[in-house]
C-alpha cells in the first residue's frame, strides 16, 4: 500500500483542473518495453538508426521492420489497471487532460476520451513526401486494417510516389502544433499535475510538469525510480503505476 498523502487526497477532491503526462512506464505492465529501462529499446538500438527521417531515407525496410514489430506487439496486449484508473479519474474531474508521449494507443483503448498523443500513434500511416494520410482512424484492436499492415520488403507508395511511413513523431521533427498548445495550456492551468512512468527528459513533454509547478500546481510523480524531475515534485510516489493510480482513485472517490 502506497503512502498517498492527505494533501493529495484533499487536492484531488477539490480539483476541477487536473493534467496527466504519461510515458512508456505506464505501458510496461501491459508488456510494452520502455525506451531507457534495462531491456529498453534504446539499450539495443540507437534512436538515430530507427526513429529519424534520415534513418528512413537510408533504410526504410529496417525502420518498417521495427515499427511493424511494435504494431504487432501492441495488438497482442491490453491496457492495464493504470490506464483504466486514469479513465476513472477523468469521470470525477471536470477539466481533465490526458497527455501522453506513448504511441501505443492504450489510453484510447482503455477509454480515455481525448488523449493528446504528443508523439503520434503507431497505427497511423502517412506519406513520407506529401504527408497524405493513409490511416484508418479507428484505432481499436478489432479495426486494425489490412491496408496498413506493411510488408517492410514491399512498402506501399502514395499516389505522389512517396513511400508510406508510420504516423509517429521522429527525433528532429516538430510535434503537432495543436497538441503542443493544448498540452501547454492544460499544464499551466492545472491544479494537480501527474507525471507518470516517464523519465521526463525528452522535450517538450519534460517541460509540462515544470510549467504546471511554476503556475502553482501540486506536482506528483509516479515512477518505479526517481528521475531528474523528482526533486521538483511536491510528492513522489515510488512504485508501479498499475498499483498506485488505482489506489489513489479508490482512496479519493470510493
Q: Which residues bind ligand OAD (CB under 6 A)?
A: 23-25, 28-29, 34-37, 40, 47, 51, 101, 119, 169, 171, 197-199, 202, 222-225, 227, 240-241
Minimum Å distance from CB 200 to ligand OAD? 7
Minimum Å distance from CB 142 to ligand OAD? 26
Task: Please choose, from the candidates 28, 54, 15, the residue with its C-alpha nearest in 3D space to the C-alpha of residue 225.
Answer: 28
Which of 15/24 has CB closer to ligand OAD? 24
Question: Residue 227: what are its φ and ψ, rounded to 5°?
Answer: -135, 175
For residue 200, what are the CA distances in angstroms to 130, 213, 219? 32, 14, 13
Which of 170/218 has CB closer to ligand OAD? 170
Residues 6+ apart with CB under 8 A from 250: none
Which of 209/213 has CB closer to ligand OAD? 209
Residues 6+ apart with CB under 8 A from 169: 118, 119, 120, 175, 176
The residue with cell 479508490 is 250
What letter would DSSP give residue 47?
A: H
Q: Is 119 a catalytic residue?
A: yes
What letter would DSSP give residue 254?
A: -
Minimum Å distance from CB 154 to ligand OAD? 25
Which of 29/88 has CB closer to ligand OAD? 29
Which of 59/243 has CB closer to ligand OAD? 243
What letter would DSSP give residue 160?
A: T
Minimum Å distance from CB 173 to ligand OAD? 8
User: How large is the C-alpha radius of gyration of the chain?
Assistant: 18
Catalytic one of 53, 83, 92, 119? 119
Minimum Å distance from CB 130 to ligand OAD? 22
Determine contact, residues 115/108, Cβ cutoff 8 Å: yes
Which sequence positions are flagged as catalytic?
A: 119
Amino acid at each position: 500500500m502506497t503512502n498517498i498523502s492527505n494533501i493529495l487526497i484533499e487536492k484531488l477532491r477539490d480539483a476541477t483542473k487536473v493534467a496527466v503526462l504519461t510515458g512508456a512506464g505506464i505501458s510496461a505492465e501491459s508488456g510494452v518495453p520502455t525506451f531507457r529501462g534495462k531491456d529498453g529499446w534504446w539499450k539495443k538500438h540507437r534512436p538515430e538508426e530507427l526513429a529519424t527521417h534520415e534513418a528512413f531515407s537510408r533504410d526504410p525496410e529496417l525502420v518498417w521492420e521495427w515499427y511493424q514489430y511494435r504494431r504487432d506487439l501492441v495488438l497482442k496486449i491490453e491496457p492495464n489497471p493504470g490506464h483504466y484508473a486514469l479513465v476513472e479519474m477523468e469521470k470525477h474531474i471536470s477539466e481533465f487532460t490526458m497527455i501522453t508521449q506513448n504511441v501505443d494507443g492504450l489510453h484510447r483503448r482503455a477509454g480515455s476520451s481525448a488523449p493528446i498523443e504528443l508523439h503520434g500513434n503507431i497505427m497511423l500511416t502517412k506519406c513520407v513526401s506529401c504527408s497524405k494520410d493513409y490511416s484508418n482512424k479507428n484505432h481499436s484492436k478489432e479495426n486494425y486494417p489490412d491496408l496498413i499492415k506493411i510488408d517492410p520488403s514491399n512498402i506501399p507508395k502514395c499516389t505522389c510516389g512517396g513511400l508510406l511511413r508510420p504516423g509517429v513523431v521522429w527525433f528532429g521533427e516538430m510535434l503537432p502544433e495543436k497538441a503542443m498548445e493544448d498540452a501547454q495550456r492544460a499544464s499551466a492551468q492545472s491544479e494537480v499535475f501527474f507525471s507518470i512512468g516517464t523519465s521526463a527528459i525528452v522535450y517538450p513533454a519534460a517541460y509540462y510538469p515544470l510549467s504546471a509547478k511554476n503556475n502553482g500546481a501540486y506536482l506528483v510523480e509516479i515512477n518505479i525510480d526517481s528521475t531528474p524531475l523528482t526533486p521538483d515534485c511536491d510528492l513522489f510516489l515510488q512504485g508501479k503505476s498499475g498499483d498506485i493510480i488505482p489506489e489513489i482513485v479508490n482512496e479519493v472517490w470510493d
